[in-house]
Structure 1
Amino acid sequence: MKKWIAILSLASCLSVSSLAGAAPAAETNVSIRSFEPTSFIKSDGTYWIWGQNQSVPTQVHGLTDVSQELTSQLVMKEDRSVWYWERSSLSSAAQVKPVKELDNAAFFYSNWDKLLTVDGQGKVSVLPRKEGKWDITQITPLSGIDNVADITNYYESYPKDGFQRLVFLKKDGTVVKDTASPQVFAPIQALDHITDIDRNLALKADGTVWTWATEFTGAETPASPVKAQQIKELSNIKNIITNGNTNLAIDSQSRLWYWGATITGWSDGTVYHKGAVPILLNSITDVADAVVAERSLLVLSKSGKVYEASIEREAMPANPAFKLLASEVSQIKSGGRHVIMQKKDGTLWGWGVNKNAELGYGDYEFMHSEAVPVQKAITVELNAEPAVLTSGVITRNGQAFIPLRSIFEKLGASVAWDDKLKTVTIVQKESDKPGTTILINYTTGETKLNNEVVQLANKPFGINGTSYLPLRFISESLGAKVDWVQKEDRISITMN
């Protein structure tokens, strides 16, 4: 289950190696305190996100002392206060608001239309989602339920309808689910001494795994009693994992069991083949964790290796072939169609579908079948003030490429883009000296300074509508000074 304990822009390239040594994307970085599939928190309390319009980790300015991401647009600070954030545009700092009603929450759980928060006494409150945002003005207690220790959800299917059901694990080890009637919760029979729930799976303290039906013929109703059944093939289980279609269990011998869906076909021809009986996968051992992403099973071994096996088949065999993806890994998290892994040196690596830059790698390639490094979180300052960027720093071949449209303007320059010619013109005018004009052609790579051709060490490039230029050349041309503070992962730009 998933819960939380508590437009065109222009850019420049700074050669990090020419300032204070190389800074490759996968350089040791122990500053990441915690991470999720498309975000992380650094040890300095800054909060960084990627995906959609940001191809690499981008700081959410306006937030400090963050200790936990609760869900999209809600974070908890070191003092356990909860804050909501939003931005009016990609180039603006975040607007932050305290949500005092949620302070000191024990944990949070969200699905697509509501956020549930649970306090230390197990009482639940609900925030609805409106127009893609959490409505922090409509926090209401969820009556009829208390002493909650965990929350998950699953989908109930009927011939003509379906319902998303919330499931609550209570502190006494029993399990209840919501019903068609508001504030009415029905016990799931045969469940007691439960230690973990994930969708329609429950793990008992004795290591047995239990499940209950989610598909109905129509004779039943949402109010009909639900009774769980033991999965006889499973015993001495320590961990259960499911995405709703595919189920996994890890037993006390660190072995992996698999049941549920495999997949064939694509688009409208996609077929899910349901394997009802758990299979012991004997081609993988020493299992510490496992996730399913896209059409693959990824397994983290106790020795820190991550292996991948395809689930694109009509049935899962007992001995699927596993491919080594990464080593020295300490954690792995699934984003549904991609995974993010943290290595023991603190770096983050991504694998899987990347159509919306889910891997934070700095591109929009649809899929990366090999592990790629999530780009480093590098802060940029202009005259000692944080620079708000539309997308974060991209590091390639020991050089940092930095989006700087707003910085150019603050350096006294104007920026003009010619979409037909694919050129950018940067002009700085000063009353007491000749002006400066920089012309860059993104088709040919030609760059001119005051109408003289200049040979650049790095050819300009663009990613998803954002153009990148060599910062050293731009800064020297416009009179700025640039410093790389390696120990702080910070680039300082100074303009007199």
Structure 2
Amino acid sequence: MYVTLFCLLFALFNTSALAASNGDFQSFGATSLSKSDGSYWVWGAGQSVPIQIHDLSDVEKSFDCQFDRQLVMKKDGTVWFWERKDPSGEIQVHNVQSLNNLIDVQYKMGDLLALDQERKVYLLSTQGQLTSDRLNQITHLSGIDDVVDLGAYWDYHQQSHAEIWAFLKKDGTVWINKGDFPTEAFEPIPAPNNVIEIEENIALKQDGTVWYWPSQTKNDLSASITAAPITELTSIKKIKSYNKSYVAIDQNADLWFWGVTLTGASDGTIRHNQTVPVKLNSIKDVKDAFFVERSLIVLTKGGDVWEASIDRESMPENPVFNHLTSDVQEIKLGARHIMMQKNDASLWGWGVNKSGQLGSGDFEFMHLTPQRVQRPVAVYLNDEPIVMNSSGVIIRNDQAFIPLRSVFEKMGAAINWDTYTKTVTISQREPEKEPVTISINYSSGTVDLNNKPVTLSNQPFILVSTAYLPLRFISESLGGKVDWIQDEGKIFILMQ
């Protein structure tokens, strides 16, 4: 298999500046961030560290729909869509003219719903995948307006299932679709009024009570339903849910759990339903809570993050909470991981990482200890920004490894990859210059410059078909000069 990207290591790189803080970013998502200079960076979908999307700037908010395609909103309220094209990996950006000033985007059950500041809902039936070809199919969902919050859930019964969206209106009423979605027929749930938050099929009212409406089957969607209070829950401030597992935070910052716990694995998974809420006495001062895989993640008011398992037949009153990290300000939830912002503005990920969604420079399937997102670093050749669609700057052993195949060629070098021996040869032949040949064997670790062995302080490596090479050694051998602007997160290669 051809090595598609070749990377260079900046040998005199000061990692303390890179690792100290990510304080030059303005906002972040589960797999993205925006820097204060207006640049926009993403990771995941095979990218283990942040890479810049050069055609996007001044991004205010991202809406994570899928790893390799997302909707973002700029500071001027315009909405844009970016996607990665196979097999080239090229990133394309499109303006979504039918959407502006978005508040929320929910991507569930093969449909995408977008809510804007005018409280209008827009529908895109993605058939499981959001692509640029479908952007012109976005339509206003005219049957429901004046919406302030969205929710969605599946209901199962005897091999049939129902796809249900819930809509919280400004007047505090909750509405659901009547019939198979998409539909423009909706009906209110009679009981809950003055609702301020919805999660799946539960609602939090202004008086602090939590209401629940029962599951329906696909054949029962035409029948009216009524919500009922969960009597054990009072003075509640926040609710969260994931696949029928629920938590609530009350005014005393105590945490309550009810709903589904899981045992078994894969096709043998058993769902256990705990209908009566239980207060979790082993955690206090709760600020926020999330479900990730089979874990309950809790952020306390003091900035500590704790984890307890829901892989059990029922949740006890005193589950063991394992301490993950401290000094956390905010947590964003991804599909199978969380992203945490600490007080020093650094970003840390925890959870499943098989697609690089933690941004930590590796593809370990899951990290059970928080991993730091590597700081986004831009690379320039003669002041021209280098587009790196498939991999970004990776820091290992206190040095930065950077993918730069296109830079080699722009520096006048030719590249040859021997698949059998796993050897890359970089050669430069220019008039009035001494010829240069660099050979790196990834099997043996040997490096030769003009047929003479060279000892490097860090071994070149391959990570998922991408080869990484030492920057200063290669660039200076090819007649270049390297400058690292630490405060700006930029590396400049200047040809002499």
Tell me whether the two structures share a fold, i.e. TM-score over 0.5. yes
**SS in structure 2 at match of 1:313:** coil
Please name the residue that 2:206 is paired with. Answer: 205
Whether contact under 8 Å (2:105, 2:114) holds in the other structure is yes
The answer to whether 1:160 aligns with 2:147 is no
Question: What amino acid maps onto 1:151 in structure 2?
Answer: L
CA spacing shift, 1:105–1:305, aligned 2, 3 Å: closer
Whole-angstrom distance in 1 between the partners of 2:104 and 2:261: 33
**SS in structure 1 at match of 2:297:** strand
Q: Quote the offset at 1:488 in angstroms.
A: 0.4
Whether contact under 8 Å (1:361, 1:374) holds in the other structure is yes
The answer to whether 1:10 aligns with 2:16 is no
Whole-angstrom distance in 1 between the partners of 2:102 and 2:289: 29
The answer to whether 1:472 aligns with 2:472 is yes
The answer to whether 1:266 aligns with 2:265 is yes
Whole-angstrom distance in 2 between the partners of 1:397 and 1:440: 19
Please name the residue that 1:125 is paired with. Answer: 122
Whole-angstrom distance in 2 between the partners of 1:64 and 1:277: 48
Whether contact under 8 Å (2:18, 2:486) holds in the other structure is no
Please name the residue that 1:312 is paired with. Answer: 311
Whole-angstrom distance in 1 between the partners of 2:473 and 2:194: 66
Whole-angstrom distance in 2 between the partners of 1:89 and 1:267: 30
The answer to whether 1:80 aligns with 2:77 is yes
Whole-angstrom distance in 2 between the partners of 1:455 and 1:289: 51
Q: Quote the offset at 1:115 in angstroms.
A: 2.5
Please name the residue that 1:183 is paired with. Answer: 184
Whether contact under 8 Å (1:472, 1:482) holds in the other structure is yes
CA spacing shift, 1:104–1:312, aligned 2, 3 Å: closer
Whether contact under 8 Å (1:292, 1:336) holds in the other structure is no
Single out whichever of 405-414 and 94-103 deviates more from structure 2. Answer: 94-103
Please name the residue that 2:481 is paired with. Answer: 481
Whole-angstrom distance in 2 between the partners of 1:82 and 1:312: 39
Whether contact under 8 Å (2:193, 2:205) holds in the other structure is yes
Question: What amino acid maps onto 2:106 in structure 1?
Answer: Y
**SS in structure 2 at match of 1:426:** strand
Please name the residue that 1:281 is paired with. Answer: 280
**SS in structure 1 at match of 2:494:** strand
Whole-angstrom distance in 2 between the partners of 1:123 and 1:308: 37
Q: Quote the offset at 1:225 in angstroms.
A: 0.7
Q: Quote the offset at 1:90 in angstroms.
A: 8.1
Please name the residue that 2:35 is paired with. Answer: 42
**SS in structure 2 at match of 1:330:** strand
Question: What amino acid maps onto 2:117 in structure 1?
Answer: G
Please name the residue that 1:54 is paired with. Answer: 47
Please name the residue that 2:325 is paired with. Answer: 326
Whether contact under 8 Å (2:17, 2:487) holds in the other structure is no
The answer to whether 1:32 aligns with 2:31 is no
Whole-angstrom distance in 2 between the partners of 1:405 and 1:89: 19
Whole-angstrom distance in 2 between the partners of 1:369 and 1:70: 26
Tell me which of 85, 93, 97 is aligned to 1:96: 93
**SS in structure 2 at match of 1:60:** strand
Whether contact under 8 Å (2:18, 2:489) holds in the other structure is no
Question: What amino acid maps onto 2:52 in structure 1?
Answer: Q
Whole-angstrom distance in 1 between the partners of 2:130 and 2:302: 41
Q: Quote the offset at 1:106 in angstroms.
A: 4.2
Please name the residue that 1:449 is paired with. Answer: 449
Whether contact under 8 Å (1:10, 1:405) holds in the other structure is yes
1:193-218 deviation per Cα after TM superposition (whole angstroms, max 9, x unaligned): 000001111000000001111254x8
Q: Quote the offset at 1:495 in angstroms.
A: 1.5
Q: Quote the offset at 1:112 in angstroms.
A: 4.5
Whole-angstrom distance in 1 between the partners of 2:306 and 2:121: 39
**SS in structure 1 at match of 2:20:** coil
CA spacing shift, 1:337–1:486, aligned 2, 3 Å: same
The answer to whether 1:69 aligns with 2:66 is no
Question: What amino acid maps onto 2:54 in structure 1?
Answer: H
Please name the residue that 2:300 is paired with. Answer: 301
Whole-angstrom distance in 1 between the partners of 2:237 and 2:382: 54
CA spacing shift, 1:106–1:326, aligned 2, 3 Å: closer
Q: Quote the offset at 1:24 in angstroms.
A: 6.4
Q: Quote the offset at 1:388 in angstroms.
A: 0.7
**SS in structure 2 at match of 1:273:** strand
Q: Quote the offset at 1:111 in angstroms.
A: 2.3
Question: What amino acid maps onto 1:98 in structure 2?
Answer: N
Whether contact under 8 Å (2:17, 2:486) holds in the other structure is no
1:32-79 deviation per Cα after TM superposition (whole angstroms, max 9, x unaligned): 222222112222221111112211111112111111113443211121
- Map 1:251-400; keep pairs closer than 5 Å: 251-389=250-388, 390-400=390-400
**RMSD across aligned C-alpha pairs, in angstroms?**
1.9
Single out whichever of 96-105 and 445-454 deviates more from structure 2. Answer: 96-105
Question: What amino acid maps onto 1:159 in structure 2?
Answer: Q
Question: What amino acid maps onto 2:83 in structure 1?
Answer: E
Question: What amino acid maps onto 1:303 in structure 2?
Answer: G
Whether contact under 8 Å (2:213, 2:228) holds in the other structure is yes
Question: What amino acid maps onto 2:51 in structure 1?
Answer: T
**SS in structure 2 at match of 1:476:** helix
Question: What amino acid maps onto 1:184 in structure 2?
Answer: A
The unaligned stretches of length 5 or more in structure 2 are none
Whole-angstrom distance in 2 between the partners of 1:47 and 1:439: 35
Whether contact under 8 Å (1:93, 1:388) holds in the other structure is no
How many residues are paired up?
A: 485
Q: Quote the offset at 1:348 in angstroms.
A: 0.7
Aligned sequence identity (%)? 48
Single out whichever of 481-490 and 390-399 deviates more from structure 2. Answer: 390-399
Whole-angstrom distance in 2 between the partners of 1:444 and 1:336: 39
Whether contact under 8 Å (1:61, 1:93) holds in the other structure is no
Please name the residue that 1:223 is paired with. Answer: 222
Single out whichever of 449-458 and 354-363 deviates more from structure 2. Answer: 354-363
The answer to whether 1:116 aligns with 2:113 is yes
Question: What amino acid maps onto 1:61 in structure 2?
Answer: H
Question: What amino acid maps onto 2:245 in structure 1?
Answer: T
Please name the residue that 1:430 is paired with. Answer: 430
Single out whichever of 105-114 and 159-168 deviates more from structure 2. Answer: 105-114
Q: TM-score, normalised by structure 1?
A: 0.93
Q: TM-score, normalised by structure 2?
A: 0.93
The unaligned stretches of length 5 or more in structure 1 are 1-6
Q: Quote the offset at 1:279 in angstroms.
A: 0.7
Whether contact under 8 Å (1:355, 1:366) holds in the other structure is yes
Q: Quote the offset at 1:365 in angstroms.
A: 1.0
The answer to whether 1:418 aligns with 2:418 is yes
1:427-476 deviation per Cα after TM superposition (whole angstroms, max 9, x unaligned): 11112223111110111111001111000011001111111111010011
Please name the residue that 1:22 is paired with. Answer: 15
Q: Quote the offset at 1:151 in angstroms.
A: 0.9
